[in-house]
Amino acid sequence: MTTVVKNDLNKLNLDAAVANGFFDEMFGREAGALSHYQKLRCAFNQITHDDFKTKRNSVDLAFLRQGVTFNVYGDSRGTERIFPFDLVPRIIPAKEWEHIERGLVQRITALNLFLHDIYHEQRIVKDGVVPAHYILSGKHFRREFVNFAVPKDIYIHVCGTDLIRDDKGQYMVLEDNGRCPSGVSYVLENRRAMKRTFPGMFENVGVRPVEHYPQELLKSLQ
């Protein structure tokens, strides 16, 4: 998340945000905001600290009322927490996203092929690539599915791949959530919240839509 501070005019000053040694996605390593962040930087630097706080509280209250919350695994109290939502959006340029998308398609295709193999020919075991005990002893390996033909050979209909960036800005995969990624619904709610909070920010920017996701998921399930 971005740490925002207030300047002498009580307006947000993203230029003074502190990256604390991590890769700064707005400013990179050079002076001044990166080109795809220029408009957002100018817009946010005109918002007062009090207005930003009001917007922050409004989003938190809306999420709480709508049930956009989560529980922390291992928390015996079962306390519901509001899903963290950064009011300063992360912008991924189209060219950068196309590179990420190709990698994700390749990665998830490989995961699907892996699952098809371990439930059928198990060539990855016979060729000595993966020891059999790693698969057969896995708590999520379902012996009932051996030689079972799933529709379209699709085992992973939706995958939540967690991406991080190193100190040089290089994207890396933290983990793949291929069973039931709980964060999917947050994508839709986050976009709605951003449009409600900053309706003018999406004008003439060319932000790709996410609202069609449920229909795309349905297609893959049919």
d(CA 116, CA 148) in angstroms, rounded, equals 9
Q: What is the average pLDDT across 139-147?
A: 94
pLDDT at 116: 97
Beta strand extents in the chain (DSSP E only):
69-71, 80-82, 160-165, 171-177
Q: What is the average pLDDT across 20-37?
A: 80
Residues near 182 by Cβ (< 8 Å), separated by ≥ 6? 70, 160
**pLDDT greater at residue 32 or residue 136:** 136
Single pTM value for the model:
0.81
Q: Which of 59, 41, 89 is nearest to 208 (CA)?
A: 89
In Å, what is the CA distance from 174 to each residue of 42, 103, 181? 32, 14, 14
Q: In the chain, what are the helix, strand and coil shares in percent, each to the nearest 5?
A: 45, 10, 45
Q: What is the average pLDDT across 175-200?
A: 86
Q: Is 90 exceeded by the pLDDT of residue 107?
A: yes
Tokens 């399930």, located at residue = 221
Q: Is 60 exceeded by the pLDDT of residue 3?
A: no
d(CA 7, CA 46) in angstroms, rounded, equals 11
60-64, 80-84, 198-202: which range is least confident on average?
80-84
